[in-house]
Amino acid sequence: MATDGKQPDPAGADARSDERIEAARALLAAIDAKLFPNSGAIPFYEQALLIRRAVTRLLGNG
Amino acid sequence: MADAMALYAEVGAWNLAALADRRAFDSHYEAVAGAIADRLTAKVHIDIQARGRAFDEWIVGLASMDAQEITDRHFVGVCASLIASLASHPIVTYSVMVRPWPDRLIEAVAKYPDQVTALMSGAAVYLLRVRDMTGVDPSVPLSPLIVENAAGHLWRGLAAAARFRELLQLSSPWS
């Protein structure tokens, strides 16, 4: 719904969203490259197990 | 499992950059929420639209960060902004199926489900990378009181997300 006489621009909004995602991805990749150069990519199934283990440990002292 | 394998095939392996993909972001959150639910013997309910709003908010925040001269502050900031984005939306609830009495952790999670899950989500990113780098787990098992205290701080103000390492007693490899 336009309130200022302008028409919505969904294509433009999508482009801005894509640009933000690319900027975020570039930042995250730069952090990995700079701080964790020896850390390899983790297969997703292994990552899920590692997350579960980490969360279980953090919440483990019940 | 089929969904996880499809995600693996499409997105590739997990790294920080993969979290900018909505499916990987969702997968990360579901792994965390699933682990919490297992710990409590609970069922987890996730509002997908609210989680999508948190993702959008996180991406906007990251996109506005200065990417020059990367330091550990950037990494900690990424984890903190993930926590703040997730904690600011009503995404998750847990239905406890068995209630051993008394269980302070259950009470803490029931009181602050979004805050506890947000803290664990950000901490998980931090832990995966730091442990991989140092070979040492930077975390210690937390008492329910500490979990509740951390979540309470976050509930009272999202600025507490920046203190997630202090609140969760995570050690830092950086001086």
Mean pLDDT by 10-residue block, N- to C-terminus, for chain A (62 residues)? 52 75 94 88 82 92 54
Residues B43 and B117: their CA atoms lie apart, in Å, by: 14
- Arithmetic mean of pLDDT, B157-165: 98
CB of B141 closer than 8 Å to CB of A61: yes
**B128: pLDDT strictly greater than 60:** yes
- How many CB pairs (< 8 A) connect A and B? 161
Complex ipTM > 0.85: yes
Residue among B5, B11, B15 with most chain A CBs within 10 A, to mutate? B15
What is the Cβ-side half-sphere exposure of residue B42, based on CA atoms within 13 angstroms? Answer: 23
CB of B53 closer than 8 Å to CB of B89: yes
Residues of chain B above pLDDT 70, percent:
91
For residue A50, give the chain B residue with the closest CA. B128
- Arithmetic mean of pLDDT, B19-47: 94
pTM for this model (two decimals): 0.89
Interface list for A 40-59 with B (CB within 8 A): 40-48, 50-52, 54-59
**B90: pLDDT strictly greater than 60:** yes
